[in-house]
Structure 1
Amino acid sequence: MTDPLANSYYAATAHERTARSGIRGDSRCDVAVIGGGFTGLSAALACAERGFSVILVEVAQIGFGASGRNGGQLIPGLRWTASELEEEFGSERADALFDLCWRDNRVKARIARHGIDCDLKAGHLEAAWTLKDFDATRREADYLAKRFNYASNVVAKADMPAHIATTLYQGGVHDPQGGHFHPLNYAVGLAQAAEAAGVDIRESHRAFRIEDTADGLRVNTDRAEIDARYVIDATDSWIGDVEPDLGRYTIPIMNYNIATAPLENADRLLPGDAAVADSRFVLNYFRLSADKRLIFGGGERYSQTPPRDIAAFVRPFMAEVFPQIADAKIDFGWGGAVAVTRNRLPHFGRRGNVFYAHGFSGHGALVTTLAGELVAEAMAGTAERFDVLASLPSRPFPGGKWLRRPLATLGLLWYALRDRLG
C-alpha cells in the first residue's frame, strides 16, 4: 500500500522491521485482531499472555496508521477534563475513569517490561493561549490536586521561559506524568513482544468483512479467511471499511507534522524537554526528538486531500510560536487521519464476540494501549474495567453516508473560527 503522506521522521528513523507479508492461507485461532496500531498490538499481546491463540492482520505495515505517525505526545487522561467527567457522570464513574486514564500508564509499563527502545521522555506542558484558558487550566490543576491527589505544576507567564522560548502563551500547566516518545518504534517494540508471546502477525492483509459462522466468527481478508472465537476490530479511522455502521461514529480529520533538521540550539527552544500542546481548538503541538529536531504539528484540514507541500502548510504555525527558527530547514513533512467522535470521547463496545475501540479523537497515544489490554481482560471474563469506558455515551454523526462529513465539517469550522476570533 503506497501512501503520499509517509515522508515521516518516524519511518526514516525506525528500528529495523521484520517483513511479515507472507500468505499463510485460511486459518483458525481463538482471537483475530484487525489492525496493527497500538490498540490492536496491545490487545493481541495481552490476549496471547492469557493463553489465547492470536492472529493479527494489518492492511499495510505495523504502525502504518495514526499509531506510527502521530505527534508522539503522551498526555494523561481524555479529551474531557476530570472535572467535566465528574460533573457529567458523577463521582463514582469519575473515580473509575481517573484511575484508568490518568493513573494507569500502560505505555510506560509495557516499555519497561519489554525493554522497548523508543526515546521515552517525561513531561508534558499544556500552554494557555488566552488568560481565560490559563485560568481554566489552573482551576483544573487545583481540582486534580485536591480531588485526586494528582500533582502537576502551574506555570505563570513569567515562568514560562524555563519551559518554552516564546512569549505567545499566557502560562500553562506542566504534568510530570505526561511525556513523549518515538511512536513507531513503540509500535515495532509491541509487535516484537507480541510475536515473542506467540502472536501470528500478517501484514499486507486487507480485512473487509466480519461474518458469523456456525462455529463462531470469520474475518474475510483479500488473502485468506480467518475463523475465530473472538474478533477485535482495532481499525480506528478505517473502521467503516470493515464495519460500516461503526464508521458512522467518527469522522477523519487530517493532521500534519514536520520535523526540522537537527537544531544547534534546540534546548533553548524547550529547556525542560517536555512535549507541548496548546489550548486552542485547532491546536499546535510540538516537542524535541532524541536527535534535537523540532517535531511540530499545526493546523487541520477537513478535506482528505493533503496540501501539495506539507512543510509549507505547517511552517507558518511553527514560525508563529518560534519566530527565531522561522527559516529552519525542514527535513520531513507527513500527515494522517485522526478519527474523531462527536463528543471527543472514545467509542468502546462489544457486539456478541466482536470487540471494538476507536475514536480516540487525537488523544490516544496512552489510552490505546490501555484499550487493548481492557479488551483482553473482558475477553478473559473480567469486563468491569472495559465496561467503564464502554459505558461512555456516543452517538453517530448525523447526515447519513453522504451528508455526515459535510455537516461535521461545518461544526468543526465554527470552532476553528472561534479560535481566530479569540
Structure 2
Amino acid sequence: MKKFKNVSILLSFVCLCFVTHVQAAKLLDKVAVVVNQGVILENEIQNMMGTLKQQAIQNGQELPSDKALRVQVTEKLILNTLQQQFAERIGLQISDAQVQQAVQQIAQEQNMTLEQLRQEVIRSGSDYESYLEQIRQELTANEVRRAMVSRRIYVSPQEIDGLVALLKERGKQNEEYHLGHILIGLPSEPSAADVESAQKRANKVIDLLSEGSDFKKVAIGASSGARALEGGDMGWMNVNEMPTLFAEAVVDQKIESVIGPIRSGAGFHILKIFDIRGRQTVEVSEVNARHILIKPTIILSDEKAQNMLNRFVKQVKAGEKDFAELAKEYSEDPGSAAKGGELGWADPSMYVPEFKQALAELEPGEYSQPIKTVHGWHLVQLLERRVQDATENAYQDHAYRMIFNRKFNEEAEAWLREIRDQAFVEVVGDNS
C-alpha cells in the first residue's frame, strides 16, 4: 500500500511537470495574430525580434523600443503570411533545388562554404532547418510578388524611346572626338562656277580617302583650313567645343568615319574621326552555323547515332555528299532542317554548353566531331563569325529595365496594400 502511494505521488509530480512544460510551450506558441485562415504564433514574432536585435548588435545599430519593433515585425509577418497564402492559391512552389541555389549564393557573397554558413547559422543560435524555411518563404514571397505585379506593368515604346534619347544625350556630353579636318575653301562672294569647282574638288578628296589615301597627307596638300600643315588635326574636342555644323555631323558616327562634304559659308568641309573616347559601346560576337541533329531512340542507339554522323562528315569532306541535303533528309531539328541545317546569326551563349563549346573551337568552314547534348547528337559546321555593334539594343534594354523596375516598385507597394486591406487580420489578446 505504501509502495502504491509512492508511485501515485511520483505520477502526480510527473503530471505537474508536464502541465507546467505544456503551459510554458503554449505561452510561447500561442496564437498572436489571425491572418485569414492562417495564424502567426508568438514564437515567430519573438524569433524575428531576436534575430533583428542580434544583427543590430553585430552592425552597431540602434533599434527602437521593443513595442515599436514588435509592431514592425508583426506587420512584416502579416504581409509575408498573405504572400504565402497567395502562392498556395495560385499553386506556386519553390523547390529544394531553388532553396539550395539561393543558399549557395548567400555563402559565396559572404566568402563561405555551405558548411561554414551552416555552422555560422547554428552558432548564432538558430536552427538550420528553420533558416532554410525562412529562405524558402522569402523566395516564395519574391516570386509571387513578381508574378502578380509584373502583369500590371506596361512599358510603352514611347517611354523607352524617350529614356533612350535622354541616356544618349547624357552620354554624348562625355564624348570627345579626335577630328581631322579638310576645307575646300570658297571666296567671300563665290560665283556659281566657284561653288561647282569647289564641289568637284571636295568630291575628288572623298574619292581619294575612300581609296585609302592618308588623310593627313591629303589635308596638307589640299586643305585651306587653319590646321592644314598639321595634317588637318583638330585634336580632341567635346561636341560643345566644336562648330555646331561639325557637332551635328559627328554624333553617332564611328571611328575612322569620313564625313562630308559639308557646305558652309567658308566652303566644303570634310571630317575624319580618328578616335572617340568617353563613348559607351557594346559589341557582341555572333556566329552563323549549321548542324544535323540525330536523336537516339530505342532502335537507334547512341553509338549508332554517333557513327551515322561520323559517316556524314567523311562523305561531306570527300565531296560525296552535300551537308545541306543531308540536313534536309536526316536532321531532326525541323526549324533548321528545311534550311539545310542553317541556324542563322546568333549569340553563341544562347546555345547549350556543349554546342557553344564546339563552336568556340571551330574556325569558319570547319566541322566538329559528333557532340552530344540534351537534344541528341549533333554534327556542327561553323560558317562565319562577326562582331556586331549592339549599343542600340543595350540602350533599349537598359531603358526598359529602368522603367520596369521603377514601375514594379511602385506597383508592388500598391499590390501589398491591396492584399493587406482585403485580408482579415486580428491581433489576439494583448501582444504589446
Q: Which bin holds the TM-score, normalised by the shorter protein?
A: under 0.3
CA radius of gyration, larger in: 2
Name whichever structure is richer in strand by fraction: 1
Q: Which has the higher contact order (CA 8 A, sep 6+)?
A: 1
TM-score (norm 2): 0.18
TM-score (norm 1): 0.19
